[in-house]
Structure 1
Amino acid sequence: MTTQHAQAIQVQGLEKSYKDLQVLRGVDFTVARGSIFALLGSNGAGKTTVVKILSTLLKADAGTARVNGLDVATQAADVRESISLTGQFAAVDEILSGRENLVLVARLRHLKDPGKVADDLLERFSLTDAGARKASTYSGGMRRRLDIAMSLIGNPAVIFLDEPTTGLDPQARIEVWQTVKELADRGTTVLLTTQYLDEAEQLADRIAILHQGRIIVNGTLAELKQLLPPAKVEYVEKQPTLEDVFLTLVGDNGTDGDAGNHRVPAGK
Protein backbone atom coordinates (compact mmCIF):
# COMPACT_ATOMS: atom_id res chain seq x y z
CA MET A 1 0.00 0.00 0.00
CA THR A 2 1.45 3.38 -0.94
CA THR A 3 1.89 6.10 1.65
CA GLN A 4 -0.94 8.11 0.11
CA HIS A 5 -3.35 5.18 0.16
CA ALA A 6 -2.32 4.34 3.73
CA GLN A 7 -3.65 7.73 4.82
CA ALA A 8 -7.39 8.12 5.30
CA ILE A 9 -7.09 11.88 5.83
CA GLN A 10 -4.52 14.31 4.44
CA VAL A 11 -4.57 17.99 5.43
CA GLN A 12 -2.09 20.57 4.20
CA GLY A 13 -1.91 24.31 4.77
CA LEU A 14 -5.53 24.65 5.87
CA GLU A 15 -6.59 28.24 6.57
CA LYS A 16 -9.94 29.71 7.58
CA SER A 17 -11.01 33.15 8.77
CA TYR A 18 -14.32 34.59 9.92
CA LYS A 19 -14.13 38.25 8.89
CA ASP A 20 -11.12 39.58 10.83
CA LEU A 21 -10.76 36.51 13.05
CA GLN A 22 -8.21 34.03 11.69
CA VAL A 23 -9.21 30.64 13.10
CA LEU A 24 -6.92 28.30 11.15
CA ARG A 25 -3.45 29.51 10.23
CA GLY A 26 -1.99 26.66 8.17
CA VAL A 27 -3.00 23.29 9.62
CA ASP A 28 -1.16 20.14 8.49
CA PHE A 29 -1.69 16.53 9.55
CA THR A 30 -2.42 13.04 8.24
CA VAL A 31 -4.49 10.21 9.72
CA ALA A 32 -3.65 6.57 9.03
CA ARG A 33 -6.43 4.21 8.00
CA GLY A 34 -8.01 2.28 10.85
CA SER A 35 -6.51 4.52 13.52
CA ILE A 36 -7.89 6.90 16.15
CA PHE A 37 -6.59 10.44 15.76
CA ALA A 38 -7.34 13.00 18.47
CA LEU A 39 -7.38 16.71 17.72
CA LEU A 40 -6.85 18.22 21.14
CA GLY A 41 -7.36 21.85 21.99
CA SER A 42 -9.14 24.33 24.22
CA ASN A 43 -12.46 25.94 23.37
CA GLY A 44 -12.09 28.21 20.35
CA ALA A 45 -8.90 26.53 19.12
CA GLY A 46 -10.51 25.70 15.77
CA LYS A 47 -11.22 21.98 16.22
CA THR A 48 -14.82 22.11 15.03
CA THR A 49 -13.81 24.30 12.08
CA VAL A 50 -11.36 21.60 10.95
CA VAL A 51 -14.08 18.94 11.21
CA LYS A 52 -16.57 21.07 9.29
CA ILE A 53 -14.07 21.55 6.46
CA LEU A 54 -13.20 17.85 6.32
CA SER A 55 -16.89 16.88 6.30
CA THR A 56 -17.62 19.40 3.48
CA LEU A 57 -19.85 21.62 5.64
CA LEU A 58 -17.45 24.56 5.32
CA LYS A 59 -15.04 25.73 2.65
CA ALA A 60 -11.45 26.52 3.53
CA ASP A 61 -9.91 29.82 2.52
CA ALA A 62 -6.64 28.13 1.57
CA GLY A 63 -4.94 24.75 1.70
CA THR A 64 -6.05 21.28 0.67
CA ALA A 65 -7.76 18.37 2.38
CA ARG A 66 -8.41 14.85 1.16
CA VAL A 67 -10.57 12.22 2.81
CA ASN A 68 -10.37 8.65 1.48
CA GLY A 69 -8.31 10.05 -1.39
CA LEU A 70 -11.09 12.50 -2.32
CA ASP A 71 -10.69 16.26 -2.41
CA VAL A 72 -13.18 17.84 0.00
CA ALA A 73 -13.50 20.96 -2.17
CA THR A 74 -13.92 19.44 -5.64
CA GLN A 75 -15.40 16.00 -4.76
CA ALA A 76 -17.66 16.96 -1.87
CA ALA A 77 -20.54 14.64 -2.78
CA ASP A 78 -18.22 11.62 -2.98
CA VAL A 79 -16.61 12.57 0.33
CA ARG A 80 -20.00 12.73 2.04
CA GLU A 81 -20.86 9.23 0.85
CA SER A 82 -17.76 7.79 2.51
CA ILE A 83 -17.88 9.55 5.88
CA SER A 84 -20.09 10.09 8.87
CA LEU A 85 -20.21 12.99 11.31
CA THR A 86 -21.39 12.94 14.89
CA GLY A 87 -21.62 16.44 16.31
CA GLN A 88 -21.33 17.71 19.85
CA PHE A 89 -25.02 17.09 20.54
CA ALA A 90 -26.77 13.78 19.88
CA ALA A 91 -28.91 14.03 16.74
CA VAL A 92 -31.53 11.47 17.69
CA ASP A 93 -35.28 11.88 17.33
CA GLU A 94 -36.55 11.63 20.91
CA ILE A 95 -40.12 10.90 19.80
CA LEU A 96 -39.00 7.69 18.09
CA SER A 97 -37.67 4.58 19.76
CA GLY A 98 -34.03 3.65 19.45
CA ARG A 99 -34.85 1.02 16.84
CA GLU A 100 -37.08 3.42 14.88
CA ASN A 101 -34.25 5.96 14.75
CA LEU A 102 -31.94 3.36 13.22
CA VAL A 103 -34.55 2.09 10.77
CA LEU A 104 -35.25 5.65 9.62
CA VAL A 105 -31.60 6.32 8.81
CA ALA A 106 -31.23 2.93 7.08
CA ARG A 107 -34.22 3.75 4.87
CA LEU A 108 -32.82 7.19 4.07
CA ARG A 109 -29.61 5.48 2.95
CA HIS A 110 -31.70 3.09 0.79
CA LEU A 111 -30.32 -0.02 2.49
CA LYS A 112 -31.92 -3.41 2.09
CA ASP A 113 -33.70 -4.84 5.14
CA PRO A 114 -33.45 -1.76 7.40
CA GLY A 115 -34.99 -3.72 10.26
CA LYS A 116 -32.09 -6.17 10.31
CA VAL A 117 -29.60 -3.32 10.06
CA ALA A 118 -31.23 -1.71 13.12
CA ASP A 119 -31.32 -4.95 15.12
CA ASP A 120 -27.67 -5.71 14.37
CA LEU A 121 -26.60 -2.27 15.54
CA LEU A 122 -28.74 -2.42 18.67
CA GLU A 123 -26.98 -5.66 19.59
CA ARG A 124 -23.54 -4.32 18.71
CA PHE A 125 -24.03 -1.25 20.92
CA SER A 126 -25.72 -3.14 23.79
CA LEU A 127 -29.04 -1.37 23.22
CA THR A 128 -31.25 -4.34 22.32
CA ASP A 129 -33.19 -4.28 25.60
CA ALA A 130 -33.84 -0.55 25.18
CA GLY A 131 -34.58 -0.71 21.45
CA ALA A 132 -38.34 -0.38 21.82
CA ARG A 133 -38.14 2.52 24.26
CA LYS A 134 -38.38 6.14 23.18
CA ALA A 135 -34.98 7.77 22.86
CA SER A 136 -36.19 10.49 25.26
CA THR A 137 -35.94 7.91 28.07
CA TYR A 138 -32.29 7.06 27.34
CA SER A 139 -29.43 8.09 29.57
CA GLY A 140 -26.76 10.39 28.16
CA GLY A 141 -24.41 7.50 27.44
CA MET A 142 -27.14 5.44 25.76
CA ARG A 143 -28.20 8.40 23.64
CA ARG A 144 -24.63 9.01 22.50
CA ARG A 145 -24.14 5.31 21.69
CA LEU A 146 -27.35 5.39 19.63
CA ASP A 147 -26.11 8.53 17.88
CA ILE A 148 -22.83 6.80 16.96
CA ALA A 149 -24.72 3.69 15.85
CA MET A 150 -26.82 5.84 13.52
CA SER A 151 -23.60 7.33 12.13
CA LEU A 152 -22.30 3.87 11.23
CA ILE A 153 -25.24 2.89 9.04
CA GLY A 154 -23.84 2.32 5.57
CA ASN A 155 -20.39 1.41 6.95
CA PRO A 156 -18.55 4.71 6.40
CA ALA A 157 -14.78 4.38 6.11
CA VAL A 158 -14.17 7.50 8.21
CA ILE A 159 -16.16 8.83 11.14
CA PHE A 160 -15.75 12.27 12.69
CA LEU A 161 -16.64 12.61 16.37
CA ASP A 162 -16.77 16.24 17.47
CA GLU A 163 -16.33 16.30 21.25
CA PRO A 164 -18.30 13.06 21.68
CA THR A 165 -18.39 13.05 25.50
CA THR A 166 -19.17 16.70 26.24
CA GLY A 167 -21.75 16.88 29.02
CA LEU A 168 -21.67 13.18 29.83
CA ASP A 169 -21.20 11.77 33.33
CA PRO A 170 -18.07 9.67 34.05
CA GLN A 171 -19.78 6.32 33.49
CA ALA A 172 -21.27 7.45 30.17
CA ARG A 173 -17.86 8.74 29.03
CA ILE A 174 -16.31 5.33 29.67
CA GLU A 175 -19.11 3.69 27.66
CA VAL A 176 -18.45 5.99 24.72
CA TRP A 177 -14.69 5.40 24.97
CA GLN A 178 -15.26 1.66 24.68
CA THR A 179 -17.48 2.22 21.65
CA VAL A 180 -14.82 4.33 19.93
CA LYS A 181 -12.14 1.70 20.59
CA GLU A 182 -14.35 -0.97 19.05
CA LEU A 183 -14.84 1.18 15.93
CA ALA A 184 -11.10 1.29 15.32
CA ASP A 185 -10.77 -2.43 16.07
CA ARG A 186 -13.20 -3.04 13.20
CA GLY A 187 -11.11 -0.94 10.81
CA THR A 188 -12.98 2.36 10.91
CA THR A 189 -10.84 5.48 10.87
CA VAL A 190 -11.83 7.82 13.70
CA LEU A 191 -10.98 11.49 13.99
CA LEU A 192 -12.22 12.90 17.27
CA THR A 193 -11.94 16.37 18.70
CA THR A 194 -11.73 16.81 22.44
CA GLN A 195 -10.69 19.25 25.12
CA TYR A 196 -10.26 16.45 27.66
CA LEU A 197 -6.65 15.37 28.13
CA ASP A 198 -7.60 11.98 29.58
CA GLU A 199 -9.86 11.26 26.62
CA ALA A 200 -7.04 11.76 24.13
CA GLU A 201 -4.72 9.73 26.35
CA GLN A 202 -7.17 6.83 26.62
CA LEU A 203 -8.22 6.61 22.99
CA ALA A 204 -5.80 8.03 20.46
CA ASP A 205 -3.09 6.32 18.45
CA ARG A 206 -1.84 9.81 17.61
CA ILE A 207 -2.57 13.16 19.20
CA ALA A 208 -2.29 16.60 17.59
CA ILE A 209 -2.56 19.73 19.73
CA LEU A 210 -4.26 22.62 17.95
CA HIS A 211 -3.41 26.01 19.46
CA GLN A 212 -4.10 29.45 18.06
CA GLY A 213 -4.94 28.02 14.66
CA ARG A 214 -1.86 25.83 14.24
CA ILE A 215 -0.81 22.29 15.07
CA ILE A 216 1.95 22.82 17.63
CA VAL A 217 2.73 19.13 18.22
CA ASN A 218 1.68 15.83 16.60
CA GLY A 219 2.71 12.37 17.74
CA THR A 220 1.97 9.29 19.80
CA LEU A 221 1.39 9.63 23.52
CA ALA A 222 4.88 8.26 24.17
CA GLU A 223 6.40 10.77 21.78
CA LEU A 224 4.55 13.66 23.39
CA LYS A 225 5.67 12.60 26.87
CA GLN A 226 9.28 12.65 25.69
CA LEU A 227 8.96 16.39 25.07
CA LEU A 228 9.20 16.95 28.83
CA PRO A 229 12.04 15.83 31.08
CA PRO A 230 11.18 12.95 33.40
CA ALA A 231 10.11 13.92 36.88
CA LYS A 232 12.14 12.92 39.90
CA VAL A 233 10.98 9.48 41.03
CA GLU A 234 9.90 9.12 44.61
CA TYR A 235 8.87 5.75 45.96
CA VAL A 236 5.52 6.22 47.61
CA GLU A 237 2.51 4.02 48.18
CA LYS A 238 0.33 3.98 45.05
CA GLN A 239 -2.99 5.66 45.68
CA PRO A 240 -6.15 4.66 43.80
CA THR A 241 -7.20 6.96 40.97
CA LEU A 242 -10.53 8.72 40.93
CA GLU A 243 -11.61 6.29 38.20
CA ASP A 244 -10.71 3.34 40.46
CA VAL A 245 -12.81 4.82 43.25
CA PHE A 246 -15.73 5.66 40.96
CA LEU A 247 -15.91 2.22 39.33
CA THR A 248 -15.53 0.43 42.67
CA LEU A 249 -18.39 2.38 44.18
CA VAL A 250 -20.85 2.28 41.29
CA GLY A 251 -19.84 -1.03 39.70
CA ASP A 252 -18.39 -1.61 36.25
CA ASN A 253 -21.83 -1.88 34.68
CA GLY A 254 -23.23 1.26 36.24
CA THR A 255 -25.02 -0.50 39.12
CA ASP A 256 -24.80 0.91 42.60
CA GLY A 257 -22.87 -2.11 43.86
CA ASP A 258 -21.86 -1.67 47.47
CA ALA A 259 -21.75 2.10 47.34
CA GLY A 260 -24.07 2.48 50.30
CA ASN A 261 -21.47 0.93 52.64
CA HIS A 262 -18.68 3.37 51.74
CA ARG A 263 -18.33 6.54 53.77
CA VAL A 264 -15.68 9.22 53.80
CA PRO A 265 -14.49 9.79 57.36
CA ALA A 266 -15.60 13.05 58.91
CA GLY A 267 -13.15 15.86 58.39
CA LYS A 268 -11.47 14.28 55.35
Structure 2
Amino acid sequence: MIEAQGLRKTFTTRSRKGTQTVEAVRGVDLEVKKGEIFGVLGPNGAGKTTTIRMLSTLIAPDAGTATVAGHDLLKEPAGVRRNLGYVSQAGGVEDTTSARAQIMMAARIHAVPDPGRATAEVLERFDLTELADRPGRTLSGGQKRRVAIAIGLVHNPPLLFLDEPTTGLDPQNRANLWERIRQLREAGTSVLLSTHYLDEADALCDRLMIVDHGLVVAEGTPSDLKREVSGDVITLRVDEPERAAETVEPLARETRVDDDLLRVYVDDGEHTLPVLLRALEERGLGLSSIALDRSTLDDVFLAKTGRTLRDAGADA
Protein backbone atom coordinates (compact mmCIF):
# COMPACT_ATOMS: atom_id res chain seq x y z
CA MET A 1 0.00 0.00 0.00
CA ILE A 2 2.91 2.38 0.64
CA GLU A 3 6.46 2.29 -0.66
CA ALA A 4 8.57 5.31 0.22
CA GLN A 5 12.28 5.97 -0.19
CA GLY A 6 14.40 8.82 1.09
CA LEU A 7 11.65 11.18 2.25
CA ARG A 8 13.07 14.45 3.53
CA LYS A 9 11.55 17.66 4.85
CA THR A 10 13.21 20.79 6.21
CA PHE A 11 11.37 23.72 7.77
CA THR A 12 12.70 27.25 8.07
CA THR A 13 11.33 29.54 10.78
CA ARG A 14 11.97 33.23 11.26
CA SER A 15 11.80 35.10 14.52
CA ARG A 16 13.43 38.04 16.29
CA LYS A 17 16.33 35.74 17.10
CA GLY A 18 16.92 35.09 13.42
CA THR A 19 16.35 32.27 10.96
CA GLN A 20 16.34 28.68 12.16
CA THR A 21 16.38 25.56 9.99
CA VAL A 22 14.94 22.30 11.31
CA GLU A 23 15.44 18.97 9.54
CA ALA A 24 12.17 17.33 10.54
CA VAL A 25 12.58 14.21 8.35
CA ARG A 26 16.05 13.22 7.20
CA GLY A 27 15.64 10.33 4.79
CA VAL A 28 12.83 7.96 5.77
CA ASP A 29 12.15 4.69 3.95
CA LEU A 30 9.02 2.69 4.76
CA GLU A 31 6.79 -0.02 3.35
CA VAL A 32 3.21 -0.69 4.44
CA LYS A 33 1.61 -3.91 3.25
CA LYS A 34 -2.02 -4.49 2.41
CA GLY A 35 -4.20 -5.27 5.42
CA GLU A 36 -1.65 -4.52 8.15
CA ILE A 37 -1.29 -1.99 10.94
CA PHE A 38 2.08 -0.29 10.54
CA GLY A 39 3.27 1.94 13.37
CA VAL A 40 5.58 4.93 13.49
CA LEU A 41 6.84 5.13 17.09
CA GLY A 42 8.93 7.93 18.47
CA PRO A 43 9.06 10.88 20.87
CA ASN A 44 7.39 14.20 20.21
CA GLY A 45 9.33 16.06 17.52
CA ALA A 46 10.78 12.89 15.97
CA GLY A 47 9.19 13.52 12.56
CA LYS A 48 6.15 11.22 12.80
CA THR A 49 3.51 13.79 11.89
CA THR A 50 5.64 15.34 9.16
CA THR A 51 6.10 11.92 7.55
CA ILE A 52 2.35 11.26 7.59
CA ARG A 53 1.56 14.74 6.25
CA MET A 54 3.94 14.18 3.35
CA LEU A 55 2.44 10.78 2.51
CA SER A 56 -1.08 12.23 2.65
CA THR A 57 -0.14 15.06 0.20
CA LEU A 58 -0.73 17.78 2.81
CA ILE A 59 2.87 18.97 2.44
CA ALA A 60 5.36 18.24 -0.32
CA PRO A 61 8.62 16.42 0.48
CA ASP A 62 11.87 18.22 -0.28
CA ALA A 63 13.33 14.95 -1.55
CA GLY A 64 12.42 11.30 -1.93
CA THR A 65 9.78 9.27 -3.74
CA ALA A 66 6.69 7.35 -2.71
CA THR A 67 3.87 5.29 -4.12
CA VAL A 68 0.69 5.39 -2.03
CA ALA A 69 -2.24 3.06 -2.84
CA GLY A 70 -0.83 2.55 -6.32
CA HIS A 71 -0.38 6.26 -7.12
CA ASP A 72 2.80 8.32 -7.37
CA LEU A 73 2.87 10.78 -4.46
CA LEU A 74 4.20 13.69 -6.51
CA LYS A 75 2.69 13.00 -9.94
CA GLU A 76 -0.76 11.73 -8.90
CA PRO A 77 -1.70 13.47 -5.62
CA ALA A 78 -5.43 13.40 -6.45
CA GLY A 79 -5.28 9.63 -6.87
CA VAL A 80 -3.52 9.32 -3.51
CA ARG A 81 -6.19 11.41 -1.77
CA ARG A 82 -9.04 9.39 -3.29
CA ASN A 83 -7.63 6.21 -1.78
CA LEU A 84 -6.88 7.25 1.78
CA GLY A 85 -8.55 8.50 4.92
CA TYR A 86 -6.68 10.86 7.21
CA VAL A 87 -7.32 11.55 10.90
CA SER A 88 -5.08 14.22 12.37
CA GLN A 89 -4.00 14.64 15.98
CA ALA A 90 -6.67 17.30 16.47
CA GLY A 91 -9.33 15.00 15.00
CA GLY A 92 -11.15 17.72 13.05
CA VAL A 93 -14.60 17.31 14.64
CA GLU A 94 -16.57 20.59 14.60
CA ASP A 95 -18.15 21.71 17.88
CA THR A 96 -21.32 23.24 16.43
CA THR A 97 -22.21 20.65 13.77
CA SER A 98 -23.68 17.19 14.26
CA ALA A 99 -21.67 14.06 13.61
CA ARG A 100 -24.11 13.07 10.87
CA ALA A 101 -23.71 16.39 9.03
CA GLN A 102 -19.92 16.26 9.22
CA ILE A 103 -19.72 12.69 7.94
CA MET A 104 -22.24 13.49 5.19
CA MET A 105 -20.13 16.44 4.07
CA ALA A 106 -17.05 14.23 3.88
CA ALA A 107 -19.01 11.71 1.79
CA ARG A 108 -20.06 14.43 -0.65
CA ILE A 109 -16.52 15.83 -0.90
CA HIS A 110 -15.34 12.35 -1.90
CA ALA A 111 -18.23 12.03 -4.38
CA VAL A 112 -19.66 8.92 -2.69
CA PRO A 113 -22.59 7.74 -4.90
CA ASP A 114 -25.12 7.52 -2.04
CA PRO A 115 -23.79 9.78 0.75
CA GLY A 116 -26.83 9.26 3.00
CA ARG A 117 -26.50 5.50 2.96
CA ALA A 118 -22.71 5.64 3.38
CA THR A 119 -23.12 7.97 6.36
CA ALA A 120 -25.68 5.70 8.01
CA GLU A 121 -23.46 2.65 7.50
CA VAL A 122 -20.35 4.22 9.01
CA LEU A 123 -22.36 5.62 11.93
CA GLU A 124 -23.62 2.12 12.69
CA ARG A 125 -20.16 0.62 12.20
CA PHE A 126 -18.75 2.82 14.96
CA ASP A 127 -21.80 2.68 17.27
CA LEU A 128 -22.55 6.35 16.66
CA THR A 129 -26.14 6.17 15.43
CA GLU A 130 -27.64 7.32 18.74
CA LEU A 131 -25.17 10.21 18.88
CA ALA A 132 -25.43 11.17 15.22
CA ASP A 133 -27.49 14.35 15.63
CA ARG A 134 -25.71 15.77 18.65
CA PRO A 135 -23.33 18.72 18.11
CA GLY A 136 -19.65 17.90 18.43
CA ARG A 137 -19.19 19.89 21.64
CA THR A 138 -21.49 17.47 23.52
CA LEU A 139 -19.41 14.40 22.68
CA SER A 140 -16.73 12.86 24.89
CA GLY A 141 -13.13 12.58 23.75
CA GLY A 142 -13.55 8.94 22.80
CA GLN A 143 -16.76 9.66 20.90
CA LYS A 144 -15.09 12.49 18.98
CA ARG A 145 -12.26 10.17 17.98
CA ARG A 146 -14.76 7.65 16.64
CA VAL A 147 -16.51 10.39 14.68
CA ALA A 148 -13.16 11.56 13.26
CA ILE A 149 -12.33 8.03 12.09
CA ALA A 150 -15.84 7.68 10.62
CA ILE A 151 -15.24 10.88 8.65
CA GLY A 152 -11.98 9.42 7.37
CA LEU A 153 -13.61 6.13 6.37
CA VAL A 154 -16.96 7.20 4.89
CA HIS A 155 -15.63 6.83 1.32
CA ASN A 156 -14.32 3.33 2.17
CA PRO A 157 -10.62 3.94 1.41
CA PRO A 158 -8.19 1.00 1.40
CA LEU A 159 -5.70 3.00 3.48
CA LEU A 160 -6.18 5.00 6.70
CA PHE A 161 -3.68 7.36 8.36
CA LEU A 162 -4.11 7.81 12.12
CA ASP A 163 -1.86 10.45 13.68
CA GLU A 164 -1.62 9.95 17.47
CA PRO A 165 -5.21 8.62 17.58
CA THR A 166 -5.51 8.03 21.34
CA THR A 167 -3.70 11.05 22.76
CA GLY A 168 -5.71 12.45 25.68
CA LEU A 169 -8.09 9.50 25.97
CA ASP A 170 -8.71 7.68 29.24
CA PRO A 171 -7.73 3.97 29.46
CA GLN A 172 -11.25 2.69 28.72
CA ASN A 173 -11.64 4.82 25.60
CA ARG A 174 -8.13 3.92 24.47
CA ALA A 175 -8.91 0.21 24.75
CA ASN A 176 -12.19 0.72 22.87
CA LEU A 177 -10.45 2.58 20.05
CA TRP A 178 -7.73 -0.10 19.87
CA GLU A 179 -10.44 -2.68 19.22
CA ARG A 180 -11.95 -0.49 16.49
CA ILE A 181 -8.55 -0.22 14.81
CA ARG A 182 -8.09 -4.00 14.93
CA GLN A 183 -11.50 -4.38 13.29
CA LEU A 184 -10.36 -2.17 10.43
CA ARG A 185 -7.42 -4.49 9.80
CA GLU A 186 -9.72 -7.52 9.90
CA ALA A 187 -11.92 -5.84 7.27
CA GLY A 188 -8.87 -5.42 5.00
CA THR A 189 -8.04 -1.76 5.63
CA SER A 190 -4.35 -0.91 5.83
CA VAL A 191 -3.53 1.45 8.72
CA LEU A 192 -0.53 3.73 9.14
CA LEU A 193 -0.52 4.80 12.78
CA SER A 194 1.81 7.20 14.57
CA THR A 195 2.16 7.06 18.34
CA HIS A 196 4.49 7.81 21.22
CA TYR A 197 2.81 5.24 23.48
CA LEU A 198 4.92 2.11 23.89
CA ASP A 199 2.01 -0.12 24.90
CA GLU A 200 -0.05 1.05 21.94
CA ALA A 201 2.66 0.23 19.41
CA ASP A 202 3.28 -3.14 21.05
CA ALA A 203 -0.40 -4.10 21.24
CA LEU A 204 -1.61 -2.90 17.85
CA CYS A 205 1.15 -2.93 15.27
CA ASP A 206 1.96 -5.86 13.00
CA ARG A 207 5.19 -4.05 12.13
CA LEU A 208 6.62 -0.71 13.11
CA MET A 209 9.52 1.62 12.69
CA ILE A 210 11.08 3.64 15.48
CA VAL A 211 12.08 7.19 14.52
CA ASP A 212 14.26 9.72 16.28
CA HIS A 213 15.41 13.13 15.05
CA GLY A 214 13.87 12.44 11.65
CA LEU A 215 15.68 9.13 11.10
CA VAL A 216 14.56 5.50 11.23
CA VAL A 217 16.58 3.81 13.98
CA ALA A 218 14.85 0.39 13.91
CA GLU A 219 12.17 -1.47 11.97
CA GLY A 220 10.43 -4.84 12.32
CA THR A 221 7.72 -6.60 14.26
CA PRO A 222 7.49 -5.64 17.95
CA SER A 223 8.56 -9.14 19.00
CA ASP A 224 11.52 -9.23 16.60
CA LEU A 225 12.74 -5.82 17.73
CA LYS A 226 12.58 -6.81 21.39
CA ARG A 227 14.25 -10.14 20.68
CA GLU A 228 17.04 -8.32 18.84
CA VAL A 229 17.84 -6.30 21.94
CA SER A 230 17.66 -9.20 24.37
CA GLY A 231 15.31 -11.78 25.81
CA ASP A 232 15.24 -10.36 29.37
CA VAL A 233 16.31 -7.25 31.23
CA ILE A 234 17.64 -7.31 34.78
CA THR A 235 17.44 -3.82 36.32
CA LEU A 236 19.55 -3.22 39.42
CA ARG A 237 19.79 -0.22 41.71
CA VAL A 238 23.30 -0.77 42.93
CA ASP A 239 26.24 0.91 44.64
CA GLU A 240 29.05 1.73 42.20
CA PRO A 241 27.07 0.89 39.02
CA GLU A 242 30.11 1.22 36.74
CA ARG A 243 32.05 -1.34 38.81
CA ALA A 244 28.97 -3.56 38.92
CA ALA A 245 28.69 -3.39 35.13
CA GLU A 246 32.28 -4.60 34.77
CA THR A 247 31.52 -7.46 37.18
CA VAL A 248 28.46 -8.80 35.32
CA GLU A 249 29.67 -8.06 31.79
CA PRO A 250 30.75 -11.69 31.12
CA LEU A 251 27.19 -12.83 31.89
CA ALA A 252 25.41 -10.29 29.66
CA ARG A 253 24.76 -9.54 26.05
CA GLU A 254 24.90 -5.86 26.96
CA THR A 255 24.97 -3.60 30.01
CA ARG A 256 23.85 0.00 30.36
CA VAL A 257 24.34 2.42 33.26
CA ASP A 258 21.78 5.17 33.90
CA ASP A 259 22.67 7.15 37.05
CA ASP A 260 22.45 4.56 39.86
CA LEU A 261 20.57 2.04 37.69
CA LEU A 262 22.30 -0.82 35.90
CA ARG A 263 20.41 -2.58 33.11
CA VAL A 264 21.72 -6.02 32.20
CA TYR A 265 20.43 -7.58 28.96
CA VAL A 266 20.54 -11.38 28.96
CA ASP A 267 19.06 -14.28 27.00
CA ASP A 268 17.66 -16.15 30.01
CA GLY A 269 17.08 -13.95 33.04
CA GLU A 270 15.64 -16.69 35.24
CA HIS A 271 18.86 -18.73 35.17
CA THR A 272 21.30 -15.81 34.86
CA LEU A 273 19.98 -13.85 37.84
CA PRO A 274 21.29 -16.16 40.64
CA VAL A 275 24.76 -16.26 39.05
CA LEU A 276 24.74 -12.48 38.63
CA LEU A 277 23.79 -11.91 42.27
CA ARG A 278 26.58 -14.19 43.48
CA ALA A 279 29.09 -12.30 41.36
CA LEU A 280 28.00 -8.96 42.82
CA GLU A 281 28.05 -10.35 46.36
CA GLU A 282 31.58 -11.67 45.89
CA ARG A 283 32.72 -8.19 44.87
CA GLY A 284 30.99 -6.62 47.88
CA LEU A 285 28.55 -4.57 45.79
CA GLY A 286 25.34 -3.72 47.64
CA LEU A 287 21.88 -3.77 46.03
CA SER A 288 18.85 -1.69 47.01
CA SER A 289 16.43 -3.08 44.40
CA ILE A 290 16.25 -5.60 41.58
CA ALA A 291 13.72 -6.36 38.83
CA LEU A 292 13.53 -8.96 36.07
CA ASP A 293 11.42 -8.11 33.01
CA ARG A 294 11.01 -8.96 29.37
CA SER A 295 12.52 -6.43 26.99
CA THR A 296 10.22 -3.60 25.94
CA LEU A 297 10.17 -1.26 22.98
CA ASP A 298 11.65 1.34 25.30
CA ASP A 299 14.66 -0.97 25.69
CA VAL A 300 14.89 -1.09 21.89
CA PHE A 301 14.81 2.72 21.73
CA LEU A 302 17.44 2.88 24.47
CA ALA A 303 19.68 0.41 22.65
CA LYS A 304 19.42 2.34 19.37
CA THR A 305 19.65 5.92 20.66
CA GLY A 306 21.32 5.76 24.07
CA ARG A 307 18.27 7.16 25.89
CA THR A 308 14.73 6.06 26.71
CA LEU A 309 11.57 7.41 25.11
CA ARG A 310 10.76 9.07 28.43
CA ASP A 311 14.12 10.85 28.40
CA ALA A 312 13.44 11.89 24.80
CA GLY A 313 10.29 13.72 25.84
CA ALA A 314 7.51 11.25 25.06
CA ASP A 315 4.65 10.37 27.34
CA ALA A 316 5.53 6.68 27.35
**Gap runs ≥5 in structure 2:** 13-20, 233-268, 274-316
2:59 aligned partner? 58
Q: Give CA-to-partner distance per residue, 1:92-143, whole Å, 9 cap, x none.
A: 2222222222222222323233222222111110112222222221111011
Describe the SS at the equivalent of 1:144: helix
Q: Give CA-to-partner distance per residue, 1:209-246, whole Å, 9 cap, x none.
A: 011211111101110111222221389xxxxxxxxxxx
1:24 aligned partner? 25
**1:11 partner letter:** A
Report the count of equivalent residues: 228
Describe the SS at the equivalent of 1:156: coil
The 8 Å contact of residues 208 and 222 in structure 2, kept in 1 or not, is answered as: yes
2:119 aligned partner? 118
Shift of 1:79: 0.8
Report matched runs for 1:2-151 at 5 Å.
8-19=1-12, 20-151=21-152
Shift of 1:21: 1.7
Task: Work out the CA distance in 2 between the residues paired with 1:80 and 1:103.
Answer: 18
**2:59 partner letter:** L
Report matched runs for 1:207-226 at 5 Å.
207-226=208-227
**Gap runs ≥5 in structure 1:** 1-7, 236-268
**1:44 partner letter:** G
**2:141 partner letter:** G
**2:270 partner letter:** V
Task: Work out the CA distance in 2 between the residues paired with 1:109 and 1:16.
Answer: 28
Structure 1 vs Structure 2: percent identity of aligned residues? Answer: 43
Shift of 1:17: 1.3
Greater Rg over alpha carbons, structure: 2
Describe the SS at the equivalent of 1:226: helix
Task: Work out the CA distance in 1 between the residues paired with 2:11 and 2:137.
Answer: 36
1:233 aligned partner? 270
Task: Work out the CA distance in 2 between the residues paired with 1:103 and 1:26.
Answer: 38
Q: Which has the higher contact order (CA 8 A, sep 6+)?
A: 1
TM-score by length of structure 2 reads 0.69
Task: Work out the CA distance in 2 between the residues paired with 1:69 and 1:129.
Answer: 37
**2:86 partner letter:** L
Describe the SS at the equivalent of 1:24: strand
Task: Work out the CA distance in 1 between the residues paired with 2:150 and 2:36.
Answer: 18
